[in-house]
Amino acid sequence: MVATKIDGRAFAETVRQDVARHVAQLRSDHGVTPGLAVVLVGEDPASEVYVRNKGKQTRECGMASFEHKLDAATSEAELLGLIDRLNADPSVHGILVQLPLPSHIESNKILNAIDPAKDVDGFHISNVGLLGTGQKAMVPCTPLGCLMLLRHHHGKLDGLNAVVLGRSNIVGKPMAQLLLRDNCTVTIAHSRSRDLESIVRSADIVIVAVGRPEIVTGDWIRPGATVIDVGINRIERDGKTKLVGDVHFDSAADMAGAITPVPGGVGPMTIACLLANTLTACCRAKGLSEPSSLTA
């Protein structure tokens, strides 16, 4: 069996085009332009690249981009003050604080200071609770992207057995909630799970988000299963630096029915879903219909 490669780059481009179309319609019909504010504290090179890409794609979709780059010595109080101003700014519909933050700033305090309606990362405790109880919430971008890829590949997910390997607040837990809402039978597995290989092998859908390079190999995969690899790991191999996922791609592709590559799978969907969340937040703020294809 040779697995179908799920092309996250191509699907992310489709999502961005859909967002751009809705943004143009919002501006034409209602004179409204969605706005995304991204806050970066410090000079982490990877974060700077990520923030730059977010700004570029935000503008390409016709939305307003507000970038706030702060010195690493910025105090927690100063950052909270900026968030208060962004919360009160009617031109800003989405707020994202780039993680990680410097060690002197408490991340949870900052994330929970964001207006939940503008929390396009979906990390605020209110959005976590709303998602967990099946109510309308802002959904974390990476799990939302995974769900979109699964829906696109499978159509309905009703009755499928899904294993989420990883229990982080950013991916694992919200991913499980989204799969439950789509009527999957869901198991969350992790490093302390007994007989992990057998648990994974029972699944029709496997989502792997543990941050350990190539931990899942082909002999863990049920023939024909769909494998969504969230991991992005930089390793040294044959004297060269290489990006790999949490899944050993070649061996898993021999067993799976479909699989996301790394890079080019889930990664491109994260920013695309950030744009989708900003559009959704704008529509909700204005009391307008939100595009159903871009939400959970």
Rounded Cα distance, 292 and 93, in Å? 18
State residue 95 phi and psi, 5-degree precision: -125, 130
**CB contact at 8 A, 32 and 26:** yes
Q: Dig out the tokens for 185 from the structure.
A: 């039978």
Q: What is the DSSP string of the chain?
A: --PEE--HHHHHHHHHHHHHHHHHHHHHHH----EEEEEEES--HHHHHHHHHHHHHHHHTT-EEEEEEE-TT--HHHHHHHHHHHHH-TT--EEEEPSSPPTTS-HHHHHTTS-GGGBTT--SHHHHHHHHTT---PPPHHHHHHHHHHHHHHS--TT-EEEEE---TTTHHHHHHHHHHTT-EEEEE-TT-TTHHHHHHT-SEEEE-S--TT-B-GGGSPTT-EEEE---EEEEETTEEEEE-SB-HHHHHTT-SEE--SSSSSHHHHHHHHHHHHHHHHHHHHT-PPPGGG--
Strands 94-97 and 35-41: parallel
Structure tokens at 61: 């979709």
Residues designated catalytic: 54, 98, 121
- Helices 8-30 and 141-154 cross at an angle (nearest 10°) of 110
